[in-house]
Structure 1
């Protein structure tokens, strides 16, 4: 199946709470995950909530990576949406799983912009995204 993009919906369980509550650390980890995926970072913004938790997004030329953390539960919800054949969202996932010290993961991969559903035909070999 050909599609414009790949979207990983990731649940990380049993993560290190101190990692999940460090806004500067989370931003650096998300930016490094984008680099590990071979994407081009455009911008990022992150926010630490009171009393705890972090939300943020890294905008990449190929789409985005976002995260929402609940340190009190050792849980993080991560989206990695990439377009184009040169970017590998699974490399970003592997990096984040490691640095957040996740004990268990759940992942759904979606194909976004499926060619047959949006009427794109004959683009094999043409770079999209």
Structure 2
């Protein structure tokens, strides 16, 4: 199990405020790491008592775990987690995030998890149950 945590600084704040762009980033990550998306993307705009802390948080569940992000346009900062029971190319996820968010600086934290787990890796999911009315594509008409 591999957990890559990215802290990206000096990102393009216009991209961090673009809901469709952030949705696309979450949509592209599972394919990038060779994983299977099993949920619709969840992306929410969060407002707090400090206006500088406003920003999007989102995730997508993959068959082997999840990809999540939290963005703060005012701070030009993104935090991402890419976690999977399957190994994936760490360097490609760092390059992709740095390029997509136009980051000037990135901290990378890698944790090998469950090193004593007896669980065998699952290659492909055979079926996914989705609730009625749930879709795996964005609704550009949706307003926050």
Pair in the same fold by TM > 0.5: yes
* Structure 1 or 2: more strand by fraction: 1
- Provide the rounded CA distance (Å) in 2 between the counterparts of 1:47 and 1:24: 12
Aligned-residue CA RMSD in angstroms? 1.8
Tell me how far 1:60 sits from its aligned partner.
0.5
Tell me how far 1:89 sits from its aligned partner.
4.5
Aligned to 1:98: 99
- Residues 1:48 and 2:50 aligned together: no
- Residues 1:75 and 2:77 aligned together: yes
- Count of residues in Structure 1 that have an aligned counterpart in Structure 2: 116
Give me the TM-score of the superposition, normalised by structure 1: 0.81
**Which 4+ stretches in 1 moved above 4 angstroms?**
none
Tell me how far 1:16 sits from its aligned partner.
0.2
Deviations 1:32-60 (A, max 9, x none): 12211111111121012346411000110
Contact residue 18 and residue 71 of structure 1 kept, 8 A: yes
User: Unaligned stretches of 5+ in structure 2?
Assistant: 123-144
